[in-house]
Amino acid sequence: MIVDQNKINEAVSTVVGYGGEHILNCVQCGACSAVCPGVKAGFPLLCRHLIRSLLNGNLEEIIEDSSSWGCQACNRCTEVCPQGVRPQEVVFAFRRYQANQLAFSTSSVTSQMNLFETGHAVYTDPREARKKVGLPEETPTSAFDEQAKKEIQTLINNSPMGALGLF
Amino acid sequence: MAKVGVYVCHCGSNIAGVIDVATVRDFAETLPDVVIARKDLFMCSDSGQEMVKQDVRDGLVDRVVVAACTPRTHEPIFRAAIEKAGLNKYLFEMANIRDQGSWVHGHDHEGATEKAKKIVASAVGKARFLEPLEDKFVPVTNAALVIGAGIGGISAALELANMGHKTYLVEKRPSIGGVMAQLDKTFPTNDCSACILTPKMVEAYNHPNIETLTYSEVDDASGYIGNFTIKIRQKQTYVDWSRCTGCGDCATKCPAKTADEFNAGLSDRRAAYIMFPQAVPKKAVVDINHCINCADRDIGTLPKINKKTGRPILAPCERSCQAEAINRSIAHNPDGAIRKIEVGSIVIATGYQVMDKDWFKEMAPACPNVITALQLERIISATGPTEGKLLRPSDKEKPRTITFVSCMGSRDEHFHTYCSRFCCMYMIKQARLIKEKYPDMVINMHFIDVRAAGKEYDEYYVGARKMGINLFKGKVGGLEMLTEDKLRVLAYDMESATSIEYESDLVVLATAVELPPDATALAQKLGLQFCGSNFFRELHPKLGPVETATEGLFLAGCCQGPKDIPDTVAQAKGAAAAAAVPLAQGRVRIDPIISEVHSEKCSGCGICIPLCPYHAITMQTYADRPRAQIEMSSCKGCGVCTSACPSGAIVLHGYEESQIFAQIEALTA
């Protein structure tokens, strides 16, 4: 690795621009990674390590890494961070950068399609299971409400997500 | 018959964790003349001391043995306790079963217990023969000496002077101010070093109670707390300071050049020079070692006469001096002058030096763009060789990339194992000052760890990150010289486990803080000891941080160990307070554990006189014949004379023959 200040500046300003405003506060203590379920699940570039890579000027180099999509948005990192970095915001900012470069992880495409089609990012068809235990098969949510679905799709199509051309 | 009380201490688990205290107590009870043996968790606690005092008050015991820790720290405590209870405090003996027992025999509980018994038996044996002794007092010279006039010495001197004590402030360089005068700004507030230091320099120099002796060194020291005699060598300046106005004309005319120490060797100064523009006193000095004796005329010889004009051909320095302060015809004594002063206490604040870059062969020391942090300090200082402009030494161009390397010679088995303590902070300060002035400058800092312990220090360090300064965990392994005086930095980022290589225009080494070599000679003259890190040793690392093993000598600042300005000033003021104690009391106590000659037994052979390391023994007439006599204020109680006296005429109080033989008997029983 060479230390290229232009690349460092680009990585930092990109992340800051997408909402990871406090990335420069990081002192690499590692508390965020210690509590991160994504790190426990084996995603290599989450929290501290993602921040370090960005501060070393790596942006394009790590664009295809799927770790950021492993973030469960639990926000424990934000709670434990002693320097107010808000690591989850950095992870999300990096995701936004990835999304804008159309560098999606396959894992993320499914959930986005789910959101578009059912209004739920995480969705499995509940009807069979509900029938088994004697509940009404359909839930009173957007999944079975054509009007609600339409509204959600209109919202998505008119948001930056729509501009990605996934749907 | 003596009534000996024995008190065995658990010292929490320090002693009891190894030694069977109950067994030792039971054994003590069987010893001759022992009337009481007790034990306690902490003998030095209030309740422990009270136990001893009560037994004394009840008339149960008239000799006290405490089997516990070291007499160095605790003997005074127990002596004071029995004195309060009405017993002569010298009727006390300490058995050190911790340092010489449990601590060194932790692996052998049984053996340690047996040894503790012997130590106690020996102490009891001696205690049976103890005699009451009386403290002696001698008057004190109400004056203090402060050696070294950096910020530590200046702070200590001002404190002593403000308490009303005459204070001599001695500095080996031509001006006071020390390293702090060389600094640009100071962390964590970034206030200008000169702006806060120079008023203190002026205040000290003009203080009615302070006599400042610059360009002066301690030549010889003798005496003891309260009454030191110090010979100060005022080095030869070759300039009449009573006339010198500090105009600096001599320095501009002098043709002889040498490296300027004040600019850390980055520029030249003349042989005739004023140390720096804000020097106090602002006086010129002719550095005779670098004087080239203009026109082949040695100093101290008369000038040649110009045959045409008939006027003397003067050297540039003396010709330029309007104040007629330089006269090279005078046969100045090259050794300077000796000034003898009498003081009651001494504060040593001789400071530190930083290691030279040449020690670090892997760091391309031959490249002019590898500099020490003190050199960078001079480069960014407005009074420095570039008047504060950040220009690198090789081509006087502004660097685009600067690299900071921590721990050069510190935390390193090859050089110094200790942390130099303030490098992390001054590197961050330098990086911040540069980044503030030049936001586009690329600054890469490489640390083993960032140590920012201090008020507002960590905030200052995190602030550097927020400013966009690049910090990497991992020490630089080496530098390679490239063309155009650039350097390839071989580093590593431990946080991403990636090796780093890049080109840098300027590399700053935070070299280790250490004692300057001339500190050794001073230590020998004053009787100072060194610690494992090769700084002056304090009396106790926690509870005696300003005192030394020699009473009346106190330490302040980096000569005792690396520390930053706030810590140095705090220690200096502490040292001044401690140094003022004997002066304020007006008299000092002389331990009665000293030798005395029984004149009627003395044969006057004089064997003892040359043996005494403290020159305390003289021949005096007694009953018309010469007899040895010991000056009590000089005697340190070493016992050399006592053991050498062929007539057995000299007794060392507190270590009398009967007492020592009783100890031997107990140990060999």
User: Is A5–B501 a contact, with Cβ atoms under 8 angstroms apart?
Assistant: no
Distance of CA B347 to the CA centre of its chain: 8
Instruction: Collect all residues of chain B within an 8 Å Cβ-Cβ radius of residue A83.
Output: 462
Determine which of A1, A26, A81 to mutate to test the interface with B (most B C-beta atoms within 10 Å). A1
The answer, for A9 touching chain B at a CB cutoff of 8 Å, is yes
Distance from CA of A103 to the nearest CA of B (A): 23
For residue B308, give both structure tokens: 């045409």
pLDDT score of B615: 85
- CA dist B546 and B376 (Å) reads 32
d(CA B291, CA B283): 17
Q: Considering just the CA atoms, what is the radius of gyration of chain B in Å?
A: 31
Is residue B347 domain-shared with residue B363, that is, in the same domain? no
State how far the Cα of B504 lies from the Cα of B300, in Å rounded to an integer: 52
What digits encode the pLDDT tens for the residues A34-71? 999 999 999 999 999 999 999 999 999 999 999 999 99
Q: Are B144 and B347 in contact (CB under 8 A)?
A: yes
Q: How many CA atoms lie within 13 Å of A36's alpha carbon, on the beta-carbon side?
A: 30
Tens of pLDDT along B417-431?
999 999 999 999 999
Per DSSP bridges, beta strands B166-170 and B143-147 are parallel
Phi, psi of B313 (to 5 degrees): -90, 105
Q: Degrees (nearest 5) of the Cα angle A149, A153, A158?
A: 155
Average pLDDT, chain B: 96
Of B450, B465, B498, the CB nearest to A1: B498
Spatial strand order in the sheet of B553-555: B210-213, B166-170, B143-147, B345-348, B553-555
Considering only CB atoms, which chain B residues are within 8 Å of A52? 493, 495-496
Q: Which of B442, B496, B501 sits opposite A56 (nearest CB)?
A: B496
What values do phi and psi take at B413, rounded to 5?
-60, -25
Q: What is the pLDDT of residue B165?
A: 98
A52/B496 Cβ within 8 A: yes
How many percent of chain B have pLDDT more than 90?
95
Q: Is residue B445 included in any domain, yes or no? A: yes
pLDDT at B614: 83
For B647, phi and psi rounded to 5 degrees? -95, -5
**B466–A contact, CB cutoff 8 A:** yes
Q: Are strands B191-192 and B185-186 parallel, antiparallel or unpaired?
A: antiparallel
Q: Is the pLDDT assigned to residue B632 strictly greater than 90?
A: no
Q: Are residues B613 and B571 in the same domain?
A: no
Q: List the structure tokens of B83.
A: 């004195």
Which among B494, B188, B350 is positioned nearest to A52, based on CA atoms?
A: B494
Final residue before a domain boundary, out of B491, B514, B537: B514
Same domain for B477 and B400: yes
> Do residues B201 and B280 touch, judged by C-beta distance below 8 A?
yes
Angle at A101 between CA A98 and CA A107, to 5 degrees: 50
In a domain, B314, yes or no: no
Rg (CA), chain A: 19
Q: Give me the residue from B466, B470, B473 closest to A25, CB to CB.
A: B466
For domain A5-100, the CATH superfamily is Alpha-helical ferredoxin (1.10.1060.10)
Domain-embedded: residue B566: yes
Helix (H) or strand (E) holding A27, with range, is: none
- Hey, where are the domains in chain A? 5-100, 106-159
Domain end (from B587, B619, B636): B587
Task: Give the pLDDT band (50/70/90) at residue B669.
Answer: confident
User: pTM of this prediction?
Assistant: 0.84
Which residues pair with residue B166 across a beta bridge? Answer: B143
Contact A56 B468 (CB under 8 A): no
Q: What is the pLDDT of residue B376?
A: 98
Q: Are both B81 and B192 inside the same structural domain? A: no
How high is the pLDDT of residue B296? 87
Closest residue to A53, CB basis, from B465, B466, B496: B496
State how far residue B375 is from chain A, nearest Cα, in angstroms. 25
Read off the tokens for A135.
């509940």
Q: Which chain B residues have a beta carbon less than 8 Å from that of A49?
A: 495-496
From chain B, pick out residues whose CB is under 8 angstroms from the CB of A53.
496
Model confidence pLDDT, tens digit, residues B571-600:
999 999 999 999 999 999 888 999 999 999
d(CA B529, CA B508): 33
Residues B361 and B503 in one domain: yes
Distance CA(B302)–CA(B460), nearest Å, equals 60
Greater pLDDT, B177 or B223? B177
Q: What total number of domains does chain B contain?
A: 4
Nearest to B435 by CA among B485, B482, B470, B391: B470
CB contact under 8 A, A27 and B465: yes
C-beta atoms of B495 and A3 within 8 A: no
Residue type, B189: T
* In a domain? residue B272: no
B449 touches chain A (CB under 8 A): no
- Note whether B308 contacts A: Cβ–Cβ < 8 A: no
In angstroms, rounded to a whole number, what is the distance separating the alpha carbons of residues A71 and B109?
57
Mutate to test the interface with A, among B443, B458, B469, B495 (most CBs of A within 10 A): B495
- DSSP E strand boundaries for B336-414: 337-343, 345-348, 353-354, 370-372, 401-408
CB contact under 8 A, B500 and A3: yes
pLDDT average, residue stretch A15-41: 96
pLDDT of residue A166 exceeding 80: no
Backbone angle region of B310, left / alpha / beta, with phi > 0 → left and psi within -120 to 50 → alpha = left
Average pLDDT over residues B155-159: 98
* Structure confidence at residue B134 (pLDDT): 95
Three-state secondary-structure class, residue B228: strand
Q: Are residues B363 and B398 in the same domain?
A: yes
Q: Does B482 touch chain A (CB under 8 A)?
A: no
Short-list B632, B628, B650, CA closest to B641: B650
Q: Distances from the Cα of B76 to the Cαs of A24, B46, B79, B558, B608, in angstroms?
A: 56, 14, 5, 30, 31
pLDDT digits 0-9 by tens, B106-152: 999 999 999 999 999 999 999 999 999 999 899 999 999 999 999 99
Compare all CA atoms of chain A with the CA of B401 and give the residue at the minimum distance: A5
pLDDT of res. B633:
80
Residue B620: CATH number of its domain? 3.30.70.20
Residues B446 and B523 in one domain: no
| Closest by Cα among B371, B445, B374, B376 to B406 | B445
Q: Is B313 part of any domain?
A: no
Confidence at B544, pLDDT banded by 50, 70, 90: very high
Nearest to B249 by CA among B293, B284, B298: B284
The alpha-carbon gap from B404 to the nearest alpha carbon of chain A, in Å, equals 14
The three-class DSSP label of residue B357 is: helix
CA A61, CA A75: separation in Å to the nearest integer?
Answer: 26
Instruction: Judge: B466–A83 Cβ closer than 8 Å, yes or no.
Output: no
| Residue type present at position B245 | T
Coil vs helix vs strand at A69: helix
Q: Which of B381, B383, B356, B384 is nearest to B370 (CA)?
A: B356
Among the three residues B127, B157, B175, which one is the final residue of a domain in this structure? B127
Query: What pLDDT was estimated at residue B4?
Result: 97
pLDDT for A164 beyond 80: no
pLDDT band at B479 (very low <50, low <70, confident <90, very high): very high
pLDDT at B357: 97
User: For testing the chain B interface, which of A4, A5, A7 should be mutated: the one with the most B CBs within 10 Å?
Assistant: A5
**Cα B193 from Cα B185, distance rounded (Å):** 5
Q: For residue B495, list chain A residues with Cβ-Cβ distance below 8 A.
A: 28, 48-49, 52
Least confident segment among A96-105, A132-141, B268-277, B482-491: A96-105
B501–A26: do the CB atoms touch at under 8 Å?
Answer: no
Model confidence at B92: pLDDT above 90: yes
Q: How far is A101 from chain B (nearest CA, A)?
A: 24
The answer to whether residues B582 and B647 belong to one domain is no
Q: Taking the alpha carbons of A33, A38, A42, A44 in that order, is the dihedral positive or negative?
A: negative
Q: For residue range B46-75, list pLDDT tens digits in order.
A: 999 999 999 999 999 999 999 999 998 999
Whether B667 maps to a domain, the answer reads no
- Amino acid, single-letter form, for residue B509: L
Residues 6+ apart with CB under 8 A from B188: B425, B429, B454, B455, B456, B457, B459, B460
Same domain, B15 and B60: yes
Q: Domain limits at B42?
A: 4-127
Q: Which residues of B touch A5 (CB under 8 A)?
A: 401, 442, 470
> Of how many residues is chain B composed?
669
| Alpha-carbon separation of residue B17 from B41, B598, B626 (angstroms) | 12, 47, 57
Q: Are residues B581 and B624 in the same domain?
A: no
**Are residues B534 and B477 both part of a single domain?**
no
The complex's ipTM?
0.79
Q: Is A83 on the interface with B (CB under 8 A)?
A: yes
| Neighbour tally for B258: CB within 10 Å | 15
Chain B environment of A55 (Cβ under 8 Å)? 470
Structure tokens, B61: 């015991």
CATH assignment at residue B155:
3.50.50.60
Distance between CA atoms of residues B337 and A118, nearest Å: 98
The per-residue pLDDT for A61 is 96
Question: How sure is the predictor about A112, in pLDDT bands with cuts at 50, 70 and 90?
Answer: confident
- Chain A neighbours among B 375-404 (CB < 8 Å)? 401
DSSP assignment of B143-208 equals: EEEEE--SHHHHHHHHHHHHTT-EEEEE-SSSSS-TGGGG-SEETTTTEEHHHHHHHHHHHHHH-T
CA distances from B309 to A20, B304, B322, B569 (A): 83, 12, 20, 58
Which residues does chain A have within 8 Å of residue B498's beta carbon, measured at their own beta carbons? 1, 56
| B347 lies in the same domain as B369 | no
**Is B38 domain-assigned?**
yes
Share above pLDDT 70 across residues of chain B, in percent, rounded to a whole number: 100
Q: Considering CB atoms only, which of A24, A49, A53 is closest to B466?
A: A24
